[in-house]
Amino acid sequence: MSYLVINGGKKLNGTIENQSAKNSAVAILCACVAIKGKTILVDMPEIEEVKRIIELLQSIGVKIQWLDKGILEVNASGDLNMDKIDSNASEKTRASIFLWGALAARVKSYKIPRSGGCHLGERTVRPHWYALEKLGVRIESKDCFYFIKNSPLKGAKIVMYESGDTTTENTVMAAVLSQGKTIIKMASANYMVQDLCYFLNKAGAKIKGIGTTTLEIVGVNKLKPVKNYSIMPDPIVAMTYLAVGITTGSNITIKSCPLEFLELELCKLEIMGQKYKIKNERKSKNGKFVLVDIEIFPSTLLALQDKIYGRPFPGLNIDNLPLFIPILTQSQGRTLVHDWAYENRAVHALELQKLGASITLLDAHRLWVEGPTKFVANEVICPPALRPAVNILICMLAATGKSILRNTYAIERGYENLYETLNSVGADIKIINE
């Protein structure tokens, strides 16, 4: 086990390159199982979540190898043996649930261990059931696993029970290989759903309405291998770096930010008084997304007078919502944060009290954040949830003195070379191996 020693209270300065999107990467990687042949994915982030998916897919017979930095070859041509699935990898990532859709046209029946991931209270899988069942996928829930039985897939009209990202992606993966036409209404239009759809279209799928809440999919008999599909940059990681810079009162530039998925966040920050500049607009490597560089400047902030909450795209991203908490601790006044989407993610924000934050929990979903407060160094154990864990690191960077952060696996699930990147612009983070 290792832990971090953070000497905080330093102003950061310089340029940070954004990483590729975790949530795009894991969905696209799982979708490769539906393709017989060698697919090459470019700009694949080398994060713990991706490593668990690779272990999972390799255990059932998919051949995967890194060709170079960020370049991953996935070959799912051979027979798949679901009896050998790596239960440890499956239990560590919720993304294993993507196999329900990815294998819908390929494996008649199999068992898969229950998925893991962030501990955020109950995270129902029923929306996946309701959608996939209409296409011909039958799911039985057992004590420690799910039993999946796939009939020949037929297109259907589906109204999503929940406009969730993973639910939509799972349904799309099954629909592209279903006979006939599928209409998905109330679909998520979030960034990772769009990235997956663009990838599948490059593989020969026929998906219309990408970026909207109604997807029209005409099924095809098979998907073809894709060469050099570039994973889009991550809007949540970009927001993380914005939160780091703002919370520490620094002047930094974050490169390759997908603008469409940060515009409302930037609007909120501008109303709070945050000064920033958008520069160098261009297209992403896969040609589908608008990227910009965002420079932020030290600013005097006022708390938002209205509550802040996440919602499905085009609302404020649900994963970006907790990243506003460190920023609000440095803002004059009090703001209500309403994290309605998860049963207990808001509870994890109380860990920031150990660093001096003024946070009052009203219930499992709502909390008051009051500022400005001066952070103090301390020793904290990361909660088993990605964004609440990285929030602690952000606040430690702003706290004068030496802090210790333990159990950092939750952070490493979603961030690539985070500590080295922050050190490159003036942070002082040391990894101590026990």
In the chain, domain spans: 2-19+233-433, 22-230
- Dihedral Cα 267, 273, 277, 282, nearest 10 deg: -10
Positions of the chain with pLDDT under 70: 115-124
Spell out the residues 6+ positions from residue 48 whose beta carbon is closer than 8 angstroms to its own: 409, 412, 413, 414
Domains 2-19+233-433 and 22-230 share a fold: yes
State which fold the 22-230 domain adopts: UDP-n-acetylglucosamine1-carboxyvinyl-transferase; Chain (3.65.10)
- Residues 233-272 as b/e (b if ≥16 CB within 10 A, e otherwise) read bbbbbbbbbbbbbbbbbbebbbbbbbbbbbebbbebbeeb
pTM score of the predicted model = 0.95
SS3 string of the chain? Answer: CEEEEEEECCCCEEEEECCECHHHHHHHHHHHHHCCCEEEEECCCCCHHHHHHHHHHHHCCCEEEEEECCEEEEECCCCCCHHHCCHHHHHHCHHHHHHHHHCCCCCCEEEEECCCCCCCCCCCCHHHHHHHHCCCEEEEECCCEEEEEECCCECCEEECCCCCHHHHHHHHHHHCCCECEEEEECCCCCHHHHHHHHHHHHCCCEEECCCCCEEEEECCCCCCCCCCEECCECHHHHHHHHHHHHHCCCEEEEEEEEHHHCHHHHHHHHHHCCEEEEEEEEECCCCCCEEEEEEEECCCEECCCCCEECCCCCCCCCCCHHHHHHHHHCEEEEEEEECCCCCCCHHHHHHHHHHCCEEEECCCCEEEEEECCCCECCEEECCCCHHHHHHHHHHHHHCEEEEEEECCHHHHCCCCCHHHHHHHCCCCEEEEEC
The whole-angstrom separation of Cα 350 and Cα 68 is 41
The fourth-level CATH superfamily of domain 2-19+233-433 is Enolpyruvate transferase domain (3.65.10.10)
Q: What is the pLDDT of residues 89-108, one digit of tens each?
A: 887 787 789 999 999 999 99
Q: What is the pLDDT of residues 125-156, one digit of tens each?
A: 889 989 999 999 999 888 788 899 999 999 99
Tell me, what's the pLDDT at 120?
Answer: 38
Token pair in block for residue 103: 């294998």
Retrieve residue 179's tokens.
């006979």
